[in-house]
Chain A
Amino acid sequence: MLPPASMTRTLLWQRLMETFDLHGYQRVTTPPFEYAEVIERGLGTVDRRDLVRFVEPDSGEVALLRPDITPQIARIIATRLQDRPPPWRLSYEGTVVRRRRGRARRQHQVLQCGIECVGLKGPEADAEVIEVAVRACEQVGLRDFLVELAQVKIGAEVLDHVPDNARAAVVDTLAAKDATSLERLLKEAGVIAGERKRLGMLCDLYGDRTVIADARRRLRNAAAKRALDELERVVDRLETAGLGDRVGIDLSDLRRQSYYTGVSMTLLAEGPGEPLGLGGRYDHLLGRYDAPAPATGFAFEVDNVLWALTDAGISLKGELPLRVLVAGGTFAGRRKTADSWRAEGARVATLPAKSVEDAKRYARAWDYELLVWQRGRTTRLTRLRDGRSRALNAEPDSAVVSWARVGNES
């Protein structure tokens, strides 16, 4: 990725991380590759066939490029943060690597940033993580998006009647809302008609929160009722937080039920055609690292957020600091002038150009907004975007900085 796109992308994940920070999530950094044994113990949302493994030459151990950061965080908490009291509120940013078989084998490297809230059970923690994700989206300017909630616990109950060897296919077919294949599959697996009907209607159980009441009428046993209660308590808290109209429900997606243990969510917006991020409750993961604790978390796929912003016509470019090129004059003069602009918060480079035309050409090619051209004692400012220029006889100040930003001039 090249400038200036690489800079708006950096600004984007930094801004997402700022919102995490604002809610008390503290940053940890983890290594990009790990021993396979460590990561694989905690894998849930990533298909094993998507892993990029290799043999570490020094030790002969199998290592892998991390496909997910959450297992790393879980291990840090289990091994190095046990002396601090729960809850642990941690955030991270980093690249994960997957061999994606789907989606035209599009991306292998995915930049993620996310949060984990470990040590808190109950709907408040679920709602907290969801709210932080929503606030992060709002903070970067995204307005139209949907938080879709699922409850994998429904799966434990409805899949009870499906033979083990058919479950994976049933879950996939349900997630595709493919009622026709589902019926055929269940028939072949010898599932009785009543159960087939119950599973089939899950395909259509999605929409706003009225879906929960609808599900209550159709799934009457105690386990399903508890699962729906749990989901409803999270929705209630999101409504209290003023996020009611952003919430959607889909009860047919049970795909990550080996990993998630309660309410899970995906964040949807127009653009990438797939979620901007996903998360949920995963109360069993920490136990796999011998430090059992309830946990919930969320991660953004940064490029999908960027895609959604672009689709919505929102650019972060205007929020990058002013970019200034100081050219002409003497080495000492350029140094001094550059520092005076840096003191005003600008990003400044110098160039010993032969002519003002050379300097302009360079500045345009590298996306500078302002050229500061020095000759003898005079300094001339040129705005690259519209070519307007003016003299500057003093040190730069905030007024001249805002003149330099097209659209902000007073």
Chain B
Amino acid sequence: MRKRNRDSVVIAVPKGRVLEQLSARFAKAGIPTGALTAKSRKLIREDKAAGLSFLLLKPDDVPTYVEYGVADLGVVGRDVLMERDYDVFAPVDLDIGRCRMMVCGLPDEAITGRGERPLRVATKFANIAEQHFRSRGIPIELIFCQGSVELAPLTGLADVIVDLVETGETLRQNGLVTLEPIADISSVVIANRVGLKLRRGAIQPILDALRG
């Protein structure tokens, strides 16, 4: 096990779609992004001169690295934070990666269930779905699906789905509609609870720049 270097601020970022938007946002805030945007398969990108180090992770893993303090800061969608309890700070909303967590289904679907059995809900977001329907007082049968969850109502696997909706294009093409909003989602900057307090001098300027 390697010991982490605390002279630089470690930022965990999600690989994939949001990364491009994120780099632009970082650049705009005056944070050097050379290491981040370089064409490379390296998962750790160090920028010694800037005192920064980036970890490229699967989005779902970002809060784990931050919670353990392996990374000081991280960027993650609110959906990931909602789905599981993480004890981290979330001091800056970046207002990128905007979308909504929604209940979706066929246009004529009754969201209160059918009377003869609990509402069947297919989703990757098991906890969010369960919490939402519990607070609405609607009994559900939860069906866990990793992806292409739109298939579930079309094939009869489930009555409705709970998923992220950005433009709604995939729903439309598959004949589904949004039935009920659950939460607004965007990317937020999260911070480890201890690191921010012990090395605030190095970390706060980054937060301030991103907030601006």
**Given A101-B85, A270-B6, A273-B70, A176-B90 contact (CB < 8 Å):** yes
Contact B198 A268 (CB under 8 A): yes
Asked if B68 is at the interface of the complex by the 8 Å CB criterion, the answer is: yes
Q: What mask results when residues 8 to 42 of chain B are scored 1 for a CB within 8 Å of chain A, else 0?
A: 00000000000000000000000000000000000
Q: Which one, A103, A177, A203, contacts B67 given CB within 8 A? A: A103
Cα-based distance from A102 to B87 in the complex (angstroms): 7
Within 8 A of A (CB), among B44-93: 64, 67-70, 78, 84-91, 93
**Given A103-B67, A207-B200, A269-B91 contact (CB < 8 Å):** no
Q: What band does the interface of chain A fall in when counting residues whose beta carbon is under 8 Å from B?
A: 20 to 34
Q: Which one, B90, B195, B200, contacts A178 given CB within 8 A? A: B90
Contact A273 B68 (CB under 8 A): yes
Cα-based distance from A275 to B188 in the complex (angstroms): 23
Contact A270 B194 (CB under 8 A): yes
**Given A176-B88, A178-B90, A179-B91, A273-B200 contact (CB < 8 Å):** no
Cα-based distance from A350 to B163 in the complex (angstroms): 66
Asked if A248 is at the interface of the complex by the 8 Å CB criterion, the answer is: yes
Q: Which one, A102, A270, A274, contacts B198 given CB within 8 A? A: A270
Contact B91 A102 (CB under 8 A): no
Q: What mask results when residues 179 to 222 of chain A are scored 1 for a CB within 8 Å of chain B, else 0?
A: 11100100000000000000000010011000000000000000
Asked if B197 is at the interface of the complex by the 8 Å CB criterion, the answer is: yes
Contact B195 A146 (CB under 8 A): no
Cα-based distance from A373 to B193 in the complex (angstroms): 53
Contact B197 A268 (CB under 8 A): yes
Within 8 A of B (CB), among A378-399: none
Of all chain A residues, which has the CB nearest B78?
A181
Write out the residue numbers on chain A whose beta carbons fall within 8 Å of the beta carbon of B70: 273
Output the least CB separation between A297 and chain B (Å): 21
Cα-based distance from A268 to B193 in the complex (angstroms): 9
Within 8 A of A (CB), among B194-209: 194-195, 197-198, 200
Can you list 16 A-B contacts (CB < 8 A)? Answer: A101-B85, A102-B85, A102-B87, A103-B68, A146-B197, A148-B197, A176-B90, A177-B91, A178-B89, A178-B188, A181-B90, A184-B184, A268-B198, A273-B69, A273-B192, A311-B3
17 extra interchain contacts, Cβ-Cβ under 8 A, other than A207-B200, A270-B194, A272-B69? A103-B67, A103-B87, A104-B64, A104-B67, A144-B198, A176-B88, A177-B89, A178-B90, A181-B93, A268-B197, A268-B198, A269-B198, A271-B69, A273-B70, A273-B193, A274-B67, A275-B194
Can you list the 6 inter-chain pairs with the closest CB atoms, starting with the nearest? A273-B69, A180-B93, A178-B90, A177-B91, A273-B68, A102-B85
